[in-house]
Structure 1
Amino acid sequence: MNRLVKSALLAGAAWSAISTGALAQTAAPQEDTASVEDVVVTARRRDEQLKDVPIAVTALSAARLEQTGATDITVLQQQTPNATVQIARGSNSTLISFIRGVGQQDPLWGFEPGVGLYIDDVYVARPQGAVLDIFDIQRIEVLRGPQGTLYGRNTIGGAIKYVTKRLGDEPEAMLRADLGSYREINALGSLTLPITDSFAVGGAVARYTRDGYGTNLTTGQEHYNKDVTAYRFSAEWTPTSDLFFRLAYNRVSDDSAPRHGHREVPSTTGGYLPPADVYDTQAGLTGDQSVTTDGVSLTGEYTVNDQITLKAITAYLTGDTKTVIDFDETPLPTLDIPALYSDHSFTQEFQLLYTGERLSGVAGLFYMDSTASGAFDTIAGNLGLSIAAAGSVDTKSYSAFADFSYDLTDRLHVSAGGRYTRDDKDGQVLRLFYLGATRSPFTGGVDRPIFATRTNYTASKTFEKFTPRVSVSYDFSDDMTGYASVSQGFKSGGWDMRGDAALVPQTVNGYEPETVTNYELGLKGSAFDHFLSFSSAIFYADYKDQQITTQQVATAPAVGIASVVDNVGASHIYGAELEGAAFFNEHFTANFSVGYLKNEFEKFISLATGTPVDVSNTREPQNSPEWSGYLGLTWSDQVAGGQLRITPSASYRGDYHLFDAPDPVLDQKAYTLIDLSATWTSPSGAWELGLFGKNLTDERYKVGGYNFAGATYNNSIDAFYGPPRTVTARLTWRR
């Protein structure tokens, strides 16, 4: 309880600091700075005003994202309290997400993410290709805290919803071109074309190219470049006023050059020093690098009457990845990883939405049939080995859920829901040693005899869980709502695809699910005659059976390197969040967010010595900065007959750890990113000019890394960095 009190005091202090300087004036919100009364979200699978939703939700409109020059969903990290949304190490389009300190750092196939990603209502099961570029959208919603009732498995940290626009009944067209630093050239076009009064088609095509921020000093290739093509096509049919169908297709192709890391310390072999520029690498591993994802979905809605609507969502997603990652970042084959990933998933969901005089809610059924598979080599030059790992996980998931709200009075509302989930999983894991520090036959190497079979097993398991949610909310006034909630989520169990049964025999047993139970108090609304629109929350979370990956290296009696995934951890997490907008006058507005997060291990069981030992006093949770914040100020006025908007902004992120074992080489100190955007819209609204400066102070900050210290692996400690200073000019035409 004292932790909750501390969080409440922190939230109150942040509130006082903002409200004390407020000027009680009334101003009309701009389209890129909407109040909580104006924002409609689907966080509870039904359209509701943000103020009325008893969930901590950040909703960023398309207008606000365009005003700040956002290009992909990693911008959510800057504007969402207590969130980490980053491009994964070694990739240009694989997503790493944490919300309130809960997520998944390792994007290997077979591991489940801790933050769910949805395109409209379609669940994206894998992180590869999930760094979605922002185009043709209506808004993005970030739901913080476990969402196990309405969104199910693997949303223990929260969920990110990418909501696309519906086609209108009028022809629309848009063309956009960007020109920026590092020879950035982006082109985007979209078209909506009504064929009849009831049928319309639309599509968007985007092309993103950019030279690298650095260079591979060994191969001469660009490093941190971008070469991405994205498509989206849809058709909508409304045969009657009660029926609606939407068929959508998405494709993303990423052909960027291999993205290695920057060596942070001198090597123990070869005398290689860290490159002077953090965006340069000396990696010697070469090969194919590509990520392709495809998805098709069919959504149908039938309005039975004023109270009942039926909805069905059918989707099929596929993904293929070829990648090469040089862990040692030298021309030597000390720790080289060529890899292949493949996945596909079919999902079917049925929803019944009910809206009555006092009772409203949703109930539904969900089914998923997915397969995630892959193969990779660990080319260990100092051991003279190529360690091949291959396997797959087949998952059939069944869920039934319901969430309903009831108005006890005009001001007092209660909500209750629950979800039952059953995951049937089949896993296959194979790990082989081949002599010679070259690729194995699995990744295109010369066929040769197996030197040793380390792991070879198949296994099946069923994971079942009921995840409830209960909330009470009260309208203190027409402009202010408070709520209290308890919710639970879980992340499914599985098997370690890297597991070495000779080194770690218990790997064949797999690992069990992890759970988060979250207690939350929130206050949302408007104050000072709508001068200030805000949303705030304090929370306490009990995180149990954490699935944590640790590395084990051995030279005798069993030579090798392998990960160990086990339920070794338990944490308590508490904090506070405040976000909102202030409307000073018709020309001057502000957006802000503040997050406080305290994430502490209660237990961390290590098996490194063969005997279980609690080492929680030496471990720190990943991606859990204590403080994060954002402030953006927007000035707007009529200039040359059009509308000019200028937005300087600053985002702050406190100290954080990339790994649970603190390392002064890889731990990231606090930093602040300064951005500046300016847009001018012509009097007719047809033309828009934009200029966007990002990271204007040219901060260097780590977003990922690898840590394989010691002579056996050439002291391979390397890091991946966020983008440097960039400036981009944009021209947009709309009709």
Structure 2
Amino acid sequence: MRNFLPRSAIALAVSLASATQFTPALAQGPALALEEVLVTARRRSENLQDVPIAVTALSGQALRMRGAADISELAQLIPSVTLEPSRATSTTLTAFIRGVGQQDPLAGFEQGVALYLDDVYVARPQGALLDIYDVERVEVLRGPQGTLYGRNAVGGAIKYVTRRLSDEVDVRLKGSIGSYNQRDLVATASTPLGDGFRLGGTVARLTRDGYGDNLTTGEEHYDKDLFAYRVSAEWLPSEDWLIRLAYDNSDDKSNPVAGYRPFPGAVSGVPVLDDVHDTTAGASERPSTAGINGNNQVEAEGLMLSVDWDPTDAITLRSITAYREDYTESVIDFDGLAVMDFDAPVIYDNEQFSQELQLLYNADRWNAVVGFYYLDATAANDFDVVLGQIGPVTAYTGGTVDTEAWSVFADVTYQLTGQLSLSLGGRYTEDKRDADIFRANYLGLGSPFLGNDSALLLAVTSDYEASKTYTDFSPRVNLSYALGEDATVYLGYSRGWKAGSFDPRGANFVTPEVERGFDAETLDSYEAGLKMAWLEGRAVTNIAVFYSDYQDMQIPGSVGVDSDGDGVNDGFVGTVTNAGKAEISGVELEGSVLLTERLSAQLALSFLDAEIKEWLFNGVDVSDQRAVQNTPEEMAYIGLTYTMGLAAGDISFSANWSYKGDVTQFEAPVPVIDQDSHDVFNASVVWLSSDDSWLLGIHGKNLADEEIKTAGYCFGSGGCPSQLGLEDNTTVFYAPPRTVTATVEYRF
């Protein structure tokens, strides 16, 4: 922080569920003021300024005006949030909020930030980096969640909410062209079919050439090839009932993503490339990935049924039933070279069923939510680690982790006086994990499990089945006080918890304790906040100050193993550390100001102090050598929007700047893959017709063409914890370069 110039303030103050979107406007009457923002963050309609929690939301209209492509862009303007594609993928999500998250996508590791698609918890990160289309809003809640809905979340929650169907015929077409031959088309239509019944659907085809080239295969690198659709129906048999049925499907056939090599090949001598988006990776065309035919594809689908019934004006009964599954075949080229030094064909196969029941009560001075949640999920992965220049040898890992979890939760708010309110909540959770793990080393390019029947078994390194049940009670308490009509102050405590599990990469023959699994992690969060409107309603600011005591952090990793003592690592083993303790504290500011009737500013700011306090390794505290992952100490955002009338509509000129401090990708700093502090500049020009039927927009992103590291693999030199392969295998993944996109939308 000491090197950071205070450059910032406020993110978009926009709505949550059933929210009025933020748009600078004249309030009723002569005074110039911001519109009131209504949210349902606590399962009831409230003014955002009265809600005593740290929450940000972006309406579909705000995202539309920004030209946002996927949810990772939200991290530019929301305090204390990191959203990125995971290593070697385009659509697997790595999410961190206030220093809490999980970046390992393997079975056995649950995410620290909960992702919801229309109130349905998405248990696995594959396919979770959602593209933004057919969206009503995206909500981000910071801090532990679990007493109001769904799955318990230790770090926070992201809620992607699709648009409700209209009671009139509604057809929308959106086309985009842009840099790197971007070609996107989204078509949406809905219609009423008789009284109280509506049917709708959306189809999206999103394509783009690569930001770089694969110099070995001739394919595009960092390209996009996605087809997705969604169909839904709503039935309102009476004013007391709402029944929604929805199905979504996505198919991502983008090419494999390989990291940039900062060092030349130690054996092959391949030089460092000039463009960080280029690669010489050849695994997709080599025998090392023949078991999946070199395929790189992510398929995901889900079915959801929700039922709301209002038996009285004060009571709502809600049921949310859902099934989701996804299947991934992925080529991971750790070495990023044409040679088969360190390659991995990977299969992820996940499915889940969830059922949630809620009772909501809202009357007089009482507001309450009581709920039950059930999850039955299976996460499976099969992968080979092929060391083609050593032997060749292959380390196969196959693991299935089943989760059966149930919980009961409640959150009650009582208005003690006209200004003072007290909220008490709690959640009891029982998570059962069942693991079936097998690992073995083979001589040959690939294992029998992924197509190489001629492979010779060298040694079984892990073979076990295990089961463990974890239980927890997590409380929440919040006290809020209205200082007047324009200000609310609050003080709260909440506990976050995530069950333990089993590491599918662990070798129980060498380390039998892996059969016992790793422990649960807990986080105690204390937060104080002030929400206020000022300048006679022309500005709002929301300030949150928090302190988190993080115990038994689950930190997974992999290290090379020298099985024959010849000084060369010829295998690997997974490691999971329940790091002793971390303390994370911070200050967050967000809000908006209407400078004139036409000019508005949006600002955001966060300062975080995240520190590992205890990390025991072989009985020695190495906390001074460890860092909290994916958590910049400082973040800032400022945006300006000027709107004026033009040709039977309004034209808006927007520009924004975001800043992120230094980021450590893993628990140990590695300068070659860690990202230094950086700036991102974006700008848009959007014309919207007065009847909202036409939109013409041009959006420029990362206009300074900043090279931004988002992830990496570290199995070579430059400070890596261990080495694997012979080619000095350190690779780095990068965010998109400068792009410009033109968009046309028509609604009729």
Say yes or no: TM over 0.5: yes
- Is residue 305 of structure 1 aligned with residue 312 of structure 2? yes
Give, as a single letter, the amino acid of the residue that structure 2 aligns with 1:334.
Answer: D
Asked if the contact 2:529/2:542 (under 8 Å) is kept, the reply is yes
> Secondary structure of the residue that 2:320 maps to in structure 1?
strand
* Cα distance in 1, alignment partners of residues 7 and 66 from structure 2: 28
1:150: how far off? Answer: 2.8
What value does the CA root-mean-square deviation take over the aligned residues? 2.2
1:421: how far off? Answer: 0.4
Q: 1:470 aligns with which of 477, 487, 494?
A: 477
Give 1:651's aligned residue. Answer: 658
Q: 1:460 aligns with which of 456, 467, 473?
A: 467
Give, as a single letter, the amino acid of the residue that structure 2 aligns with 1:422.
Answer: E
* Cα distance in 2, alignment partners of residues 208 and 49 from structure 1: 36
Q: 2:231 aligns with which of 230, 233, 241?
A: 233
* Cα distance in 2, alignment partners of residues 427 and 309 from structure 1: 39
Q: Which moved more, 1:46-55 or 1:222-231?
A: 46-55
5 Å-filtered alignment, 1:350-361, equals: 350-361=357-368
List per-residue Cα deviations over 1:143-183 (Å, max 9, x = no partner). 00111323465511100011112112111110000000000
Give 1:544's aligned residue. Answer: 551
Give 2:729's aligned residue. Answer: 716
* Cα distance in 2, alignment partners of residues 473 and 721 from structure 1: 43
1:49: how far off? Answer: 2.7
1:221: how far off? Answer: 1.2
- Is residue 49 of structure 1 aligned with residue 47 of structure 2? yes
1:11: how far off? Answer: 14
Give 1:22's aligned residue. Answer: none
Asked if the contact 1:35/1:533 (under 8 Å) is kept, the reply is no
Give, as a single letter, the amino acid of the residue that structure 1 aligns with 2:611.
Answer: E
> Secondary structure of the residue that 1:89 maps to in structure 2?
coil
> Secondary structure of the residue that 2:375 maps to in structure 1?
strand
Give, as a single letter, the amino acid of the residue that structure 1 aligns with 2:365.
Answer: R
1:678: how far off? Answer: 0.8
Q: 2:708 aligns with which of 665, 689, 701?
A: 701
1:659: how far off? Answer: 1.2
Give 1:251's aligned residue. Answer: 249
Give 1:296's aligned residue. Answer: 303
* Cα distance in 1, alignment partners of residues 228 and 98 from structure 2: 30
List per-residue Cα deviations over 1:45-72 (Å, max 9, x = no partner). 3433322222100111111111110011
List per-residue Cα deviations over 1:431-451 (Å, max 9, x = no partner). 011102x12122233343422
> Secondary structure of the residue that 1:402 maps to in structure 2?
strand
* Cα distance in 2, alignment partners of residues 403 and 279 from structure 1: 48
Aligned residues: 712
1:651: how far off? Answer: 0.9
Q: 1:582 aligns with which of 569, 576, 593?
A: 593
Asked if the contact 1:152/1:421 (under 8 Å) is kept, the reply is no
* Cα distance in 2, alignment partners of residues 94 and 415 from structure 1: 36
Give 1:21's aligned residue. Answer: none
Asked if the contact 2:121/2:151 (under 8 Å) is kept, the reply is no
Give 1:86's aligned residue. Answer: 84
Paired-residue identity, %: 45
- Is residue 388 of structure 1 aligned with residue 386 of structure 2? no
Give, as a single letter, the amino acid of the residue that structure 2 aligns with 1:411.
Answer: Q
1:197: how far off? Answer: 2.1
Give 1:490's aligned residue. Answer: 497
> Secondary structure of the residue that 1:717 maps to in structure 2?
strand
> Secondary structure of the residue that 2:373 maps to in structure 1?
strand
- Is residue 620 of structure 1 aligned with residue 632 of structure 2? no
* Cα distance in 1, alignment partners of residues 58 and 75 from structure 2: 12
Distance 1:298 1:15, change over 3 A: closer
1:254: how far off? Answer: 0.4
- Is residue 642 of structure 1 aligned with residue 649 of structure 2? yes
> Secondary structure of the residue that 1:494 maps to in structure 2?
coil
* Cα distance in 2, alignment partners of residues 371 and 447 from structure 1: 30
* Cα distance in 1, alignment partners of residues 9 and 107 from structure 2: 43
Asked if the contact 1:36/1:534 (under 8 Å) is kept, the reply is no
Q: TM-score, normalised by structure 1?
A: 0.94
Q: 2:521 aligns with which of 514, 519, 533?
A: 514
Give 2:415's aligned residue. Answer: 407
- Is residue 167 of structure 1 aligned with residue 165 of structure 2? yes
* Cα distance in 1, alignment partners of residues 115 and 692 from structure 2: 33
- Is residue 338 of structure 1 aligned with residue 349 of structure 2? no
Distance 1:315 1:29, change over 3 A: farther
Give, as a single letter, the amino acid of the residue that structure 1 aligns with 2:730.
Answer: I
Asked if the contact 2:249/2:299 (under 8 Å) is kept, the reply is yes
- Is residue 733 of structure 1 aligned with residue 746 of structure 2? yes
Distance 1:202 1:712, change over 3 A: closer
Q: Which runs of 5+ in 1 are unaligned?
A: 1-5, 17-25
Q: TM-score, normalised by structure 2?
A: 0.92
Distance 1:50 1:356, change over 3 A: same
1:557: how far off? Answer: 5.2
* Cα distance in 1, alignment partners of residues 367 and 646 from structure 2: 47
- Is residue 571 of structure 1 aligned with residue 582 of structure 2? yes
1:14: how far off? Answer: 7.1
* Cα distance in 1, alignment partners of residues 691 and 35 from structure 2: 28
Asked if the contact 2:9/2:604 (under 8 Å) is kept, the reply is no
Q: Which moved more, 1:672-681 or 1:560-569?
A: 560-569
> Secondary structure of the residue that 1:655 maps to in structure 2?
coil
- Is residue 480 of structure 1 aligned with residue 491 of structure 2? no
Give 2:186's aligned residue. Answer: 188
* Cα distance in 2, alignment partners of residues 151 and 625 from structure 1: 29
5 Å-filtered alignment, 1:37-116, equals: 38-116=36-114
1:641: how far off? Answer: 2.3
* Cα distance in 2, alignment partners of residues 200 and 573 from structure 1: 47
1:37: how far off? Answer: 7.0
Asked if the contact 1:342/1:372 (under 8 Å) is kept, the reply is yes
Give, as a single letter, the amino acid of the residue that structure 1 aligns with 2:699.
Answer: F
Q: Which runs of 5+ in 2 are unaligned?
A: 11-23, 285-293, 718-722
List per-residue Cα deviations over 1:485-523 (Å, max 9, x = no partner). 000111121111111234443222210110111000011
Give, as a single letter, the amino acid of the residue that structure 2 aligns with 1:370.
Answer: A
Asked if the contact 1:11/1:578 (under 8 Å) is kept, the reply is no
Q: Which moved more, 1:200-209 or 1:141-150?
A: 141-150
1:27: how far off? Answer: 5.5
> Secondary structure of the residue that 1:507 maps to in structure 2?
helix
Q: Which moved more, 1:45-54 or 1:390-399?
A: 45-54
Distance 1:12 1:680, change over 3 A: closer
Distance 1:153 1:347, change over 3 A: closer
Q: Which moved more, 1:405-414 or 1:373-382?
A: 373-382
1:28: how far off? Answer: 2.5
Distance 1:27 1:176, change over 3 A: closer
Give, as a single letter, the amino acid of the residue that structure 2 aligns with 1:567.
Answer: N
List per-residue Cα deviations over 1:322-373 (Å, max 9, x = no partner). 0001011111222111100011100000000000100002101111111011
Give 1:217's aligned residue. Answer: 215
List per-residue Cα deviations over 1:243-289 (Å, max 9, x = no partner). 11000111111000011111111222111222110001111200100
Q: 1:560 aligns with which of 571, 586, 598?
A: 571
1:571: how far off? Answer: 0.3
* Cα distance in 1, alignment partners of residues 33 and 586 from structure 2: 24
> Secondary structure of the residue that 1:263 maps to in structure 2?
coil
Q: 1:284 aligns with which of 282, 285, 310?
A: 282
Give, as a single letter, the amino acid of the residue that structure 1 aligns with 2:413.
Answer: S
* Cα distance in 2, alignment partners of residues 709 and 685 from structure 1: 55
Give, as a single letter, the amino acid of the residue that structure 2 aligns with 1:396.
Answer: E
> Secondary structure of the residue that 1:383 maps to in structure 2?
coil
Asked if the contact 2:664/2:675 (under 8 Å) is kept, the reply is yes
Distance 1:439 1:624, change over 3 A: same
- Is residue 435 of structure 1 aligned with residue 426 of structure 2? no
- Is residue 686 of structure 1 aligned with residue 699 of structure 2? no
1:382: how far off? Answer: 3.7
Distance 1:519 1:271, change over 3 A: same
Give 2:117's aligned residue. Answer: 119
Asked if the contact 2:34/2:594 (under 8 Å) is kept, the reply is no
